[in-house]
Amino acid sequence: MALFHWRTSLNSPKQVLKLIAVTICLCIASYQLSECFSKLLRPPISTRYSFNLNDTLDFPAVTICRTPPYKSSFYEVLPTHAEVSSFYLLHFGRCFTLTPKNLTTDWDSTGYFLYLAHSDSVKTLNDRGVSISGFHVYIHDRKEVFTGFIIIFLSIIDKLIQLNLCTGNGDKVDSFLDYLYGETYEDIKLNLKVRVYQQIPTKESYCNDSCDYSLSRCQLKCLQGMITEQIGCSTPWLPNPDLQDCQNYNDTRLLMAAYDTFQRVDYLKKCACPQACNIKIYSHYIHSIKDITRATCEITIKFNSNLVTTMKEVLGYDWNLFLSDLGVP
């Protein structure tokens, strides 16, 4: 039997009520279906917070810059489990980066022991009571590089502040570097903590989900290329293998001016470097610090535990939930 008699539906109050009821049901069903498809196309994202006891740990890379800065002379380093590379920066001179070669399962008995000898035999303090002879030590993910300039990650920082992964003391970081200044005549022991943040790339907040992608490397390469090509020459702290070294004062001065903080920000805005989806943040806390009688800075860096804090974005809607909303078993 037909639900409606279309020819008489408008003449019968009962049929009119049925028509109104069916129309309302169809409208509600269409709205709910459109909402489900909308959530499939743009699923909501939630964040999972977890603590994991990892069997293996990935030690960070360590970048060391001397103060006063190193000259061109090379100090011999013979590592067995880490690779050593050096580079030049305008304000830091020659810096060295130690990158571990392998993961470790002996996280409680292995680590870094840095024996940093200094040429200054007298410890001189500045007006703030800090020794002018020491070492800048930067701890960072091995895929990142220390660029020596400030990089702004506003959206990532906002998320990390909300997730209590960042203190919010400032919105400017350099690839999430952890920093320590070690003075001469000091023995410092550090314990490390590691936190992992995994973001889902979306149209509104795109990020590169490759595990090997490095935002700092991308921006450094872009910055070096744009500045040197504009001036037409390169320097050791702004290298470009396709260009010759700067031969006069004016070109070098122009490079230094372009490398100024405000100019760098303008250049970086032109770089098409997306944020990284996978971020690993190392942070330290000082276990002990004591004075020694040698003109060295001795730093021990170890993991205190194999606990890894993970913040992971997950899709809050998928096909299973879609079929559930439709009532399909």
Instruction: List all residues 6 or more positions away from 180 whose beta carbon is below 8 Å from its beta carbon.
Output: 136, 137, 139, 188, 190, 284, 299
pLDDT of residue 168: 38
Neighbouring CB atoms inside 10 A of 77's CB total: 10
pLDDT of residue 56: 84
Q: One digit per residue, pLDDT tens: the chain, 329 residues?
A: 455 555 555 566 666 676 677 777 777 666 666 666 666 666 677 788 888 888 888 899 999 999 888 765 555 565 667 888 888 888 888 899 999 887 777 777 788 889 888 888 888 888 888 888 899 999 999 988 888 764 433 334 444 444 444 443 333 334 578 889 999 999 999 999 999 988 888 877 788 988 889 888 888 888 888 889 988 999 988 899 999 999 999 988 888 888 776 566 777 778 888 888 999 999 998 999 999 998 889 999 999 888 898 988 877 665 566 566 555 45
Neighbouring CB atoms inside 10 A of 203's CB total: 7
3-class state of residue 13 by DSSP: helix
153 φ, ψ (degrees, to nearest 5)? -120, 75
Element housing 161 (H / E): helix 154-162
pLDDT of residue 299: 94
For the purposes of burial, counting CB atoms within 10 Å of the CB of 69, is it exposed (0-12), middle (13-18) or buried (19 or more)?
middle
pLDDT of residue 190: 93
Distance CA 28, CA 19 (A): 14
Query: Which one, of 82, 112, 103, 118, lies nearest residue 190 by Cα?
Result: 112
Distance CA 118, CA 294 (A): 9
pLDDT of residue 125: 83
Q: What is the DSSP string of 292-322?
A: -SSSEEEEEEEEEEEEEEEEEEEES--HHHH
pLDDT of residue 262: 55
pLDDT of residue 189: 94
Dihedral sign of CA atoms 263, 264, 268, 271 in order: positive
Distance CA 315, CA 41 (A): 11
CA 300 to chain centre: 24
Largest CA distance in the chain: 107
3-class state of residue 265 by DSSP: helix
Q: What is the DSSP string of 187-249?
A: EEEEEEEEEEEE----SSS-EE--TT--HHHHHHHHHHHHHHHHHT-BBTTB--TTSPBP-SH
Domain ranges of the chain: 49-314
Distance CA 60, CA 56 (A): 13
pLDDT of residue 324: 62
pLDDT of residue 158: 44
pLDDT of residue 138: 92
